[in-house]
Amino acid sequence: MQPTELQTSLYERIPLSRAMGVNVRALYGLRAALAAGLLATLLSACAGSASRYPVPALPVSKLEQLRADALRALPPEETGEFLDADLVEVVTLDPSLQLDVRYAGSDNFLRAPVYPEARVFLQRPAAEAVVRVNRALSAQGYGLLLFDGYRPWYVTWMFWEATPNEKKNFVADPATGSRHNRGCAIDLSLYDLKTGLEVPMPSGYDEFSERAHPNYAGGTPEQRAARDLLRKAMAAEGFTVNDDEWWHYDYRDWQKYRIGNAFFKDLARTR
């Protein structure tokens, strides 16, 4: 059957245009226009991705060499008294939390998977605080979308080595370790409870630009309001936003934990 025909019986076909009163030529024109618009959208998205991620995409061989070098490197030595690590998988405390772990796929500034699994861990007090934030936001129609939490130190080493000097303010120096390494930093955003969709912010996650700053005055009023709502809710539970990244929050007791380098596979799935 041709797409412009409607079959009314085994023996009769009538043009779709006559059956529905539609101008077929106009219909094809509309389809072409929609296709052109979709192509423009895709091209725009690709262009946006390139500007979001200023780090050149690494060849697979170079990325694997970087990973091998990172695994051979040793975290900095630390002295003093620290609490024992108690890393918990955050979604086990509240299944309504949503995950979008970009580092387990290729939608990140390295354009390659860094984590073997899409999982988010935090030290237990920080994880419990995130759950309280999520419950408070639910009354306003939002939930938390988690991008990243505990990050093994060797991954921080990879990020530092792969990032151009002029953009290193967006990554932690492995010489001192990061709050992600201590299990007390989380990258997150909001999602709409009605639609399940991520809430637009003034910049994308992991965007290395001024739009990522938590006090950036651009974007739409709605985007800034969503960003500020997230910041207020997180601050109420002891989190401080990073100076360069609206999505990055540090828990108040991060100094009490050592730098960690354990693999996800070595951490318990439920606690």
3-state secondary structure of 119: coil
pLDDT in tens, 116-149: 999 999 999 999 999 999 999 999 999 999 999 9
pLDDT exceeding 90 applies to what percent of the chain?
71
- Residue 187's nearest CA partner among 114, 229, 249 is 249
Q: How far apart are CA 39 and CA 32, in angstroms?
A: 11
pLDDT in tens, 73-97: 999 999 999 999 999 999 999 999 9
pLDDT in tens, 144-193: 999 999 999 999 999 999 998 888 988 999 999 999 999 999 999 999 99
Whole-number Cα distances in Å, 66 to 219, 220, 264 = 36, 39, 19
Place of tokens 């939490």: 149
Task: Indicate which residue of 89, 207, 237, 245 is catalytic.
Answer: 245
Contacts (Cβ under 8 Å, ≥6 apart) of 19:
6
Rg of the chain over Cα atoms, rounded to whole angstroms, equals 24
| β 5-7/87-89 pair status | unpaired
Q: Is 166 a catalytic residue?
A: no
